[in-house]
Amino acid sequence: MKTSNILTHLSVAVMLLTMGYCAISCNKDDDTSNAETPAVQSEVLVLFSIAGLGDGSYNDQILRGIKLMENEHSQGMTIRFITPANLEEVESVCTSWWENVDKTDEKGRLPRRLLVLASSDYVDIARRVFANAEMNINRCVLAFEAEDNGDETEQIRTFGISMYGASWLAGRTARELGCKHPLVLLGNGQDNTIYDARDGFVEGFGQSEDGLSAVTEALADNFSGYGLPTELYKKMYDYDGQYDFIYAVAGGSNMGAYRYLRENPECGIYTAGMDTDQSAYSTLIVGSMVKRIDLVLYDHLTNWYHQKDLPRYQFYGLESGYINWQIADRYPQLKAGVEANWQTAIKKEKEYGEK
């Protein structure tokens, strides 16, 4: 098992703490922020996505949430994290965690234990491994960004974040820029958890004056497509002159597009940041789909720490404040359009969720 050493990521953690402490502190629930430390020790194990830590976006946001929670509750909570090498290791960790969930510590105490699976790729594994597990607030599994399977007896806790509304606004922004040939680039063409981002952008853009709609492609048909920045950089040479807006939902692969646009600022291709505000990477990033996964994790960990039962399934959309389409400061002329279309995007997102 390859266990990440927190000290190895100290510089990343310091940066994330500096960026996010105030924002998260302001969102704390007054009912829990001053609560006493529980007498029983709480242990949290977090599994990042495969090779995900250090991506500068989603996984590093998760790290920020971890470090803030760890800093706030250092006496009553221990948090470990693992960056697994493959899905086989994920299953092994899940199995081992459950086999030892009732193991006492060196003082003979039984800690409260939470397993956090911070990738939608792990949901099927969790549902298989924990199919017959009997869980409660003291022995719990939280799986990121799953779809509700409708099973009211399911033991694991899951949540989903809709990217439809924010992506719909991004598509409308591309229209306002006068773009005619946008591309939606998926990291994993078989990952249905990102189809809402694809559909939102396509429908938000609609059709150009020439009657053209957004085109969709995929870098890969598995999770490897989220870690191919060099491959995307090379593809940008083919995209240059073919597309005028690229909406890449491709995780760490997006860095390849940003690099190309930095080196070729006159190419005329606009793009979007993903998961965090990434407008500093290129002057051609007109906005970012900001997903506050750090806040989601922080809030869930806070509730669990204070022994509040986590919902079996929770859905978050544009109204939740956990996700946003944020225009880059260098494009102030586009902000009015976002504000004007905000409520429409929320309405469209709700309609999409009811289909």
Residue 303 resides in a domain: yes
Distance CA(175)–CA(172), nearest Å, equals: 5
> 340 and 195 share a domain?
yes
Residue reference for tokens 């033991």: 155
Cα–Cα dist 275/40, whole Å:
35
Question: Mean of the pLDDT values across residues 94-101?
Answer: 98
pLDDT the model gives residue 39: 65
Q: Verify that 211 and 149 share a domain, yes or no.
A: no
Give a yes or no: residue 231 inside a domain: yes
Is the distance from CB of 81 to CB of 48 less than 8 angstroms? Answer: yes
Task: Read off the DSSP letter of residue 3.
Answer: B
Evaluate whether 149 touches 242 at the Cβ level (below 8 Å). Answer: no
**How many independent structural domains does the chain possess?**
2
Phi/psi of residue 114, each to 5°? Answer: -130, 130
Same domain, 301 and 330: no
Calculate the average pLDDT of the chain.
89
Q: Kindly state whether residues 182 and 281 are assigned to the same domain.
A: yes
Residues 153 and 178 both lie in one domain: no
- The whole-angstrom separation of Cα 250 and Cα 284 is 17
152, 199: one domain: no
16 pLDDT above the threshold of 60:
no
Q: What is the mean pLDDT of residues 47-52?
A: 88
Is the same domain home to 200 and 121? no
Does residue 1 lie in a domain region? no
Which has more pLDDT, 64 or 16?
64
Residue 78 lies in a domain: yes
Handedness of CA 3, 56, 193, 316 (dihedral sign): positive
Tokens 């646009």 belong to residue: 261
Q: Is the pLDDT of residue 4 over 90?
A: no
Secondary structure (DSSP) of 163-192: -HHHHHHHHHHHHHTT-SSEEEEEEETT-G
Compute the average pLDDT of residues 243-266: 96
Residue 16 shares a structural domain with residue 130? yes
Edge-to-edge strand list for the sheet holding 270-275: 215-220, 182-188, 245-249, 270-275, 285-291, 323-327
In the block, residue with structure tokens 């680039």 = 185
CA distance 33 to 18: 20
Has residue 123 been placed in a domain? yes
| 8 Å CB contact between 305 and 291 | no
Provide the pLDDT for residue 57: 79
Q: What is the mean pLDDT of residues 133-143?
A: 95
Contacts of 341 (CB under 8 A, 6+ apart): 169, 172
Is the separation of the CB atoms in 189 and 253 below 8 Å? Answer: no
Count CB atoms within 10 A of the CB of residue 149.
Answer: 11
**Neighbouring-strand partners of residue 161:** 316
Same domain? For 11 and 143 the reply is yes
Residues of the domain holding 251: 164-290+323-353
Q: Is the pTM of this model over 0.95?
A: no
pLDDT in tens, 200-214: 999 999 998 788 899
Q: What is the mean pLDDT of residues 44-73?
A: 89
pLDDT digits 0-9 by tens, 212-231: 899 999 999 998 999 899 99
pLDDT (mean) for 17-35:
42
The amino acid sitting at 344 is T
For residue 275, being part of any structural domain is answered with yes
Q: Are residue 205 and residue 306 in the same domain, yes or no? A: no
Does residue 9 have a pLDDT over 80? no
Does residue 215 form part of some domain?
Answer: yes
Domain CATH for 273: 3.40.50.2300
In this structure, the answer to whether residues 197 and 328 fall within a common structural domain is yes
The verdict on residue 304 lying in a domain is yes
**Based on the domain organization, do 154 and 265 belong to the same domain?**
no
